[in-house]
Each structure stands twice: as C-alpha cells, then as structure tokens.
Amino acid sequence: MNANEFLEFCKWAGIAGASVGGAVGVYRASRAVYDDIAKRILYWKDAQLNLAGKKRRLIESFIEHDSNGMLPVIYDRERGIFLNANTNAMWDVVSSRVNQAIDEQMRPIREKIYAQQRVLASMAGLKPNTTTQAILEQPEQIKELPGMIAIADLFRGTRPTINNLVLGVSQGGTVTRSLPLLMHTLAVGSSGWGKSKFLHSLIWQIAQAQEPVSVVLIDCSGSAFNCCANWDKLRYPIARTMPQASAVLCEILTEIARRRELYGQYPQVENLAEYTQAASADLEPIVIMADESTAMLGKKSPIGGELGEISQTARQYGIYLLIAGQSAKANLIDTATRDNFTSRLAFHVPSNSSAVVLDDRRAVSIRERGRAWAALWGEPELLELQTPFVTKDELIAVMTTGAAANTMPAPAQPEQPTGQDVVELWESLPEKTIAGFCRALFPGRPAAGKNWQRAKVLLEQENLL
C-alpha cells in the first residue's frame, strides 16, 4: 500500500484533516492497529451488505401461512394470535422488532470500529470525523429486497404490455423496460437460481400483451419451454435440436433481409416504429428466446454465426434476442459479442461468468433465488433486482392455445461439390500433396506419384475424379 492509498483509507475510516505525512506516520507507528481496524471495517461493510438478508430472515421468522397454505400472515408469538399481513400497522410492528434485533447485533461491531478509529486518530493527533461517527452509530437503514415476488402481485388491476415489461424490483421500486429499450438480453445463472424463471416471467407478460408479437423458442438441451409448446404466438414449433435451431435462425435472417428491403422504400425510416408510421402497415416484433444457449454464441458453435449476425443487425428491424445459460466463458463470449446485448443479468454464477457478463464479480455472492445484478441501458450503475416468480401452471393459464404460425423449416442441406469444384480443388493442391495422394491410391503405379497430370487421368479412369 502506498501513502496515497493509506490516506484514502484514513479518510474513509473517519480521520478528518489527514495528510499524506500524517497518514504514513500512523501507518508506520502501528501496523497492527491498522490491520485490525481494516479487517473490522471490511467486516462492517460486509455486514451492511448482508443487512437486508438478515432482516428478511428475521421477518420470515414472524411469517407463517394460513390453513390453505396460500396467504402469508403474521403470527404474534407474544399474544399467540395471527395478524392480517395486509395491515400496515402490523407490518410496522414486525419491522420495528426486526430493526431492534438487528441493531442489537450490529452495535458491538460499530462500537469496536469507532474505538479503534479513536486510537488511529489520537496517534495522528487528529479528530475522528463526526460524520463517519454518526453513520456508524446510526447507520442508514438499507431497504431490503423481498425474497420472492409472485408476478401476479405486480399486475393487480393492470394488463401486461410489451411497452412496459417488468424485469424485477430494485431498492428504487419496480424496474421496467419496453421491448425496444430492452433490446437484446443476456441472462446467466447457475442451475436453480432463477434465470429460466426470468424468461418465464417475460413469456407470461408477452402472452397477455394486446400488441401483436411473435415468439421463437430454442431449447436444445432442456425442457424449460415445454409448457409453451401449444402457444399460438409461436412463429415456429419449439426448436429442440441444433439443425432445427439453425434452420429457424436462417429463416429469421431471411426475414431481416425482407424487412431491410421494406425499410429501403422509406429513406427516413430507421426502426420498426418509424416504419409502421411511414408505411401505415404493421410488422410485428419478433422475440427470440433461447435457454441453455450461451455456449451457442461461440464462433465454433453450429449456430454461432447466425446468432452473432442477428445480435448485430436485428434490433432496428424489431427482432430481439433473449439468451440464457448457466455460464458465460470469455473464450465464447468476447467483448464485442457481449456488448451487442444491451441488457445483461447475472444470477448466482461463478466469478468468471459474472465478470464476463457484468465486468463485475458481485453476482458470485448472491444467495437468494431469483436475485440478479443487472446492467441495463440507461442505468449508470448495476442494479440489484429480485426478478418475478411464475409457476408453470400460471404460465399455461394465460396462454392462448393454437398451432405455431409456420411449420418447422427444413434444415439447410450442405451444398454438394460439383465435378468442376473437385477439379479446381485438386489443381490447387501442392504437387507433393497430389503425389502423396496418388501413391496412396495407386500403390502399384509408382509413375502416378511423379506427374500430377498423369495422376489426374488415372483418377478420371477410375471414376474417382
């Protein structure tokens, strides 16, 4: 640690008026004191970050369910009665009890930190920062995020719309984005931490939206979309194999080309909304959702090229990608590919995946299902979100059943080389390579390996060329 770094520490630790010289003097005078207080302050910061989780768990100790197991109610153990969970006054009682319990847990930590601040300050001949003292003695209450949010609770009395899709709840309230502003979305999370439920929550909203929209679902390695198999908003049946996924994405690329030609008739048009206004005709948005598919973004993936091209060109034509997977590896998702996904969410994942998706490793510490850190367009900082939860039964209940708009396109067949292609390839090979082939093909004719023109005649005679 250099002098300036230690000066910053002293300022953070609450030593007002610290100078570089004074800071270095304190550091040299008592390294042990510094190490101890540094550890305790880091512990304090960690405790502050975990305060919301502690508070939630304490609140849950007051929560039970009614006889139907449905509505949460508060059980007052002191009085031995159940209280109405919807009564604000009762929630205030619970909150007060929880805050008191947390304060009792945190007070010894605050007192120890402040005592050691005074030690450092006295050694430097300085006074503790009273603002920091006040913060430590009466820390700002952190508004905790709920542990689980039923998606229906976010739409009481309102109908979902693609112009206001709910992504989750942050400390600032409900976080929403229109489909055009959501743009392309990348979500990663280890198995069981909520990434597939996040996709389900968006499907639940799209299914009830009045606006026309068609959906493409790709699930080559799971069953996340089984409940959507008979959904009438599907553009194609669910793609469950790599050839099917490739065929569907090739069709989407054809649709992009078609829309590009339509836009070309109106020089002022740059996006779907402008085209709709200029042409007085609707092109419905297309949402492509692929679960367990982050590995498919790699250049070596059979559909990596199609996904890459769509992520680069599709948005202005009203076609949006939502890709989810269990991990994100730097050798598969490079910075250029990642940056095509303007909305990125990381549920609980290994540190490398968090860094690839967010440029930040904080998703590693997530311990709540459905919790994610999100990088969203228009937000200068990462947002911590609790994403909505929806059951498969709830999802099926809001879907209008029907056949997909189109049949599954036939997988593209690889082009068969023509005789001329083979001849051109043969003639492009080095002479030594040709000679080697000839010796292998005609071991009893040594002259064939010396003259490639002669070898070509021999191959033609044997119908091998």
Alpha carbon of 169 to those of 178, 192, 256: distances in Å?
16, 20, 34
Determine which of 125-139, 279-293, 368-382, 388-402 has the lowest per-residue pLDDT on average: 125-139
- Say whether 59 sits in a helix, a strand or coil: helix
Q: Best-predicted range by mean pLDDT among 95-109, 323-337, 384-398, 449-463? A: 384-398
170, β-bridge pairs: 173
Tens digit of each residue's pLDDT (9 = 90 or more) over 201-234: 999 999 999 999 999 999 987 788 999 999 999 9
Longest dimension (CA), the chain: 105
Can you give the residue ranges of every domain in the chain? 3-137, 149-397, 419-461
> What was the pLDDT predicted at 217?
96
Two structure tokens written together for 349 = 């994942």
Secondary element (H or E) of residue 150: strand 149-150
Compute the average pLDDT of residues 230-242.
94
Phi then psi for residue 73, to 5 deg, are: -130, 160
CA–CA separation, 320 and 315 (whole Å):
6
Residue 199 has pLDDT above 80, yes or no: yes
Q: How many CB atoms lie within 10 A of CB 24?
A: 17
Question: Residue 388: exposed, middle, or buried by beta-carbon count in 10 A (0-12, 13-18, 19+)?
Answer: buried
Residue 432 has pLDDT above 80, yes or no: no
Residue 73 has pLDDT above 50, yes or no: no
Secondary element (H or E) of residue 456: helix 452-461
Residue 281 has pLDDT above 50, yes or no: yes
pLDDT band with cut points at 50, 70 and 90 for residue 374: very high
Residue 326 has pLDDT above 60, yes or no: yes
Residue 391 has pLDDT above 80, yes or no: yes
- Comparing C-alpha atoms, which of 311, 321, 216, 314 is closest to residue 272? 314
Residue 451 has pLDDT above 80, yes or no: no
325, β-bridge pairs: 188
Tens digit of each residue's pLDDT (9 = 90 or more) over 109-142: 666 666 665 665 555 454 444 433 433 333 333 4
What is the rounded average pLDDT for all residues in the chain? 74
> What was the pLDDT predicted at 362?
85
- Comparing C-alpha atoms, which of 101, 104, 133, 94 is closest to residue 117? 133
pLDDT band with cut points at 50, 70 and 90 for residue 454: low
Strands annotated E in 263-395: 286-290, 319-325, 343-346, 371-375, 383-386, 388-389
> What was the pLDDT predicted at 337?
77
Residue 439 has pLDDT above 60, yes or no: yes
322, β-bridge pairs: 185, 289
CA–CA separation, 295 and 292 (whole Å):
8
Domain spanning 149-397 has what CATH number?
Answer: 3.40.50.300
